C-alpha cells in the first residue's frame, strides 16, 4: 500500500484532502545533482540506458521536494531507437535519428514492433525505482503518442514546421497510417510492460498533436490514442492504473479527448481551468496548467498564479485536479521556486477540498 496515494485518488476523482502536485521534467538540468550524474554518465543516452543512473535521477526531485509522485526518468524516443532508427542526442540541438522514415521502402525496411527485451533497461529502472521508493509516492510511467513518435521518426529530429510528416499526411496518408499502426502496437506492448513492472499510473505525451487541423487530429492522433487506452491493462490485482492523456495545444478538442477513454487530461496553459472543467463536466480529472515560465519570475507572483489556477478549478467536489505545469520545466528554473510552488499548492488547495 502506498503511503501517499493522493495523486492516484485525484486522477480517479476520489475524495482527497488537498491538490497533489508533480511537475513535467521535474528531474532535469535545472537541478545541480542531475547535472552531476549526467556528467558522470557522459551522454544523455548513457544516462537513459543505465538503470542505476536513471533510478537515481528519477528519485532526485523527491529528495528535495514534497512531491506527490515521481515520473520515470526516460525519454519518449526509446521506442524508435529500439526499432533500430539510431537515436543520438547532441547538446543544444536535441535528438536526432541516423535513419529516417520517408518512403514506402523505408517503412518496409525499417519499421516493426520492437522486441520488448531490447527495452529491458526501462523495465529494470522501474524495478529499481519501486524498490527504492518503499511505497512513499506513486511512480508514473509514460510513452509518446503514436503521432508524436511519428513526428520524430519522419522528420529525423526536432522540427519548426514538420514539413516532412505533413507532406506524407497530405500525399501518402496510407503510408502514415501504417507507421501509426506500428507505433500504436509498440506503445501498447511498451506501456503494458511498464505496468507489469510496477508503474502506478501512465501518461501519454502527445506533444505535437496541436500542430494538426481538427480533422487530422482526430484521424491521425486521437484515434490511435484511443486504441491504446482501450488496450492497456488498467487493473492489476486490486490496483487501478489511471491514464493521463496530454495533447499540447489540444484545448480546442477537449470534448473529443474526453471520449477517448482516458482518466485524466493534461492541459497546457492556454485554457482557463474553469473553462476546461466546464467543457469536460467532471467526466475526467484535469492535470495542469501553470505556464512553466512563471517559475522564472517573482516568487510572490508565482504563488498568485498557482492560487489563480486552484481558484479557477474551484471546489473540487466530484472533480479531480492534479497540479502541474503546462509543459516541461526549463533548465534556467530556480530550484527554490519549485519548493515555493509546491508549498503554495499544498497549503492553499486545502480550502477547496471540503
Ligand atoms: O541534456 C539533457 O540532459 C537532456 C534533456 C532531456 C531530458 C531531461 C531530454 C532530451 N529528455 C529528458 C527526459 C524526459 N523526456 C522525461 C523525464 C521525466 C521528467 O522528469 O519529466 C520525459 C517525460 C520526457 C519526454 C519527452 N521527450 C517528450 C514529451 C514531453 C515534452 O517535453 O513535450 C519529448 C517531446 C521528448 C523529446 C526530447 N527529448 C529530449 C529533448 C530535448 C526533447 C525535445 C526535443 C524537441 O523539442 O523536439
Q: What is the pLDDT of residues 16-62, one digit of tens each?
A: 999 999 999 999 999 999 999 999 999 999 999 999 999 999 999 99
Q: Which three cell numbers stand for residue 40?
A: 558522470
Query: For residue 73, is it left (φ>0), alpha (ψ between -120 and 50) or beta?
Result: beta
Ranges under pLDDT 70 in the chain: none
228 vs 207: CA distance, rounded Å:
16
189 vs 185: CA distance, rounded Å:
6
Task: Return the bridge partners of 266, or none.
Answer: 246, 287
Any residues with CB less than 8 A from the CB of 285 and at least 6 apart, and which?
10, 11, 12, 13, 242, 263, 264, 265, 319, 320, 321, 322
User: What distance in angstroms lies between residue 25's CA and the mean position of ligand 1's atoms?
Assistant: 7
10 to 29, 202, 280, 296, 323: CA distances (angstroms): 29, 14, 16, 28, 10
User: What distance in angstroms lies between residue 258's CA and the mean position of ligand 1's atoms?
Assistant: 25
- Residue 152 known to be catalytic: yes
Please report the pLDDT score of residue 91 as a whole number: 83
User: What distance in angstroms lies between residue 281's CA and the mean position of ligand 1's atoms?
Assistant: 31
- Residue 53 known to be catalytic: no
User: What distance in angstroms lies between residue 350's CA and the mean position of ligand 1's atoms?
Assistant: 32
Please report the pLDDT score of residue 169 as a whole number: 98
- Residue 29 known to be catalytic: yes
DSSP 8-state assignment for residue 111: -
| 28 is known to lie in a ligand binding site | yes
Report all structural domains of the chain as residue ranges with CATH numbers, in order of start.
Answer: 6-352 (3.20.20.210)
**With contact defined as beta carbons under 8 Å apart, do 183 and 149 qualify?**
yes
pTM over 0.75: yes
DSSP H or E segment with residue 95: strand 94-97
Q: Is the CB of 205 under 6 A from ligand 1?
A: yes
- Among 76, 145, 151, 225, name the best residue to mutate to test ligand 1's pocket (greatest count of ligand atoms within 8 A of Cβ): 76
The greatest distance separating any two alpha carbons of the chain, rounded to the nearest whole angstrom, comes to: 60
Sign of CA dihedral 64, 67, 71, 72: positive
Please report the pLDDT score of residue 334 as a whole number: 98
DSSP 8-state assignment for residue 285: E
- Residue 99 known to be catalytic: no
66 to 70, 130, 247, 342: CA distances (angstroms): 11, 18, 27, 7
Query: How many Cα atoms within 13 Å fall on the side-chain side of residue 248?
Result: 15
Please report the pLDDT score of residue 253 as a whole number: 98
| 75 is known to lie in a ligand binding site | yes
Please report the pLDDT score of residue 56 as a whole number: 98
Please report the pLDDT score of residue 110 as a whole number: 87
Task: Return the bridge partners of 323, or none.
Answer: 21, 288
185 vs 73: CA distance, rounded Å:
22
Ligand 1 atom with the shortest distance to the CA of 24: 21
Amino acid at each position: 500500500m502506498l503511503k501517499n496515494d493522493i495523486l492516484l485518488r485525484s486522477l480517479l476523482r476520489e475524495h482527497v484532502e488537498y491538490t497533489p502536485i508533480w511537475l513535467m521534467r521535474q528531474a532535469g538540468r535545472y537541478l545541480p545533482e542531475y547535472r552531476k550524474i549526467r556528467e558522470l554518465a557522459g551522454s544523455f543516452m548513457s544516462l537513459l540506458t543505465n538503470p542505476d543512473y536513471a533510478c537515481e535521477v528519477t528519485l532526485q526531485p523527491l529528495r528535495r521536494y514534497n512531491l506527490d509522485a515521481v515520473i520515470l526518468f526516460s525519454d519518449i524516443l526509446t521506442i524508435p531507437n529500439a526499432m533500430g532508427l539510431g537515436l543520438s542526442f547532441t547538446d543544444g540541438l536535441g535528438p536526432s535519428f541516423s535513419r529516417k522514415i520517408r518512403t514506402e521502402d523505408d517503412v518496409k525496411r525499417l519499421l516493426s514492433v520492437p522486441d520488448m527485451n531490447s527495452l529491458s533497461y526501462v523495465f529494470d529502472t522501474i524495478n529499481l525505482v519501486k524498490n527504492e521508493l518503499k511505497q512513499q509516492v506513486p511512480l508514473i510511467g509514460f510513452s509518446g503518442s503514436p503521432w508524436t513518435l511519428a513526428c520524430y521518426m519522419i522528420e529525423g529530429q526536432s522540427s519548426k514546421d514538420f514539413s516532412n510528416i505533413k507532406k506524407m499526411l497530405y500525399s501518402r496518408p496510407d503510408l502514415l497510417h501504417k507507421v501509426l499502426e506500428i507505433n500504436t502496437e509498440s506503445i501498447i506492448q511498451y506501456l503494458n510492460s511498464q505496468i507489469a513492472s510496477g508503474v502506478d499510473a501512465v501518461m501519454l505525451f502527445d506533444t505535437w498533436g496541436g500542430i494538426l487541423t481538427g480533422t487530422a487530429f482526430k484521424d491521425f492522433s486521437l484515434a490511435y490514442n484511443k486504441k491504446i487506452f482501450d488496450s492497456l491493462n488498467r487493473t492489476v490485482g486490486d490496483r487501478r492504473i489511471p491514464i493521463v492523456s496530454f495533447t499540447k495545444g489540444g484545448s480546442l478538442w477537449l470534448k473529443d479527448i474526453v471520449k477517448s477513454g482516458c482518466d485524466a487530461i493534461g492541459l497546457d496553459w492556454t485554457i482557463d481551468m474553469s473553462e476546461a472543467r466546464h467543457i469536460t463536466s467532471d467526466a475526467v480529472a484535469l492535470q495542469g496548467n501553470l505556464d512553466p515560465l512563471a517559475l522564472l519570475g517573482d516568487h510572490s507572483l508565482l504563488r498568485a498564479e498557482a492560487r489563480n489556477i486552484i481558484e479557477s478549478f474551484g471546489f473540487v467536489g466530484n472533480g479531480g485536479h492534479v497540479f502541474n505545469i503546462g509543459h516541461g520545466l526549463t533548465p534556467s528554473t530556480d530550484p527554490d521556486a519549485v519548493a515555493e510552488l509546491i508549498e503554495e499548492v499544498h497549503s492553499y488547495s486545502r480550502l477547496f477540498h471540503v
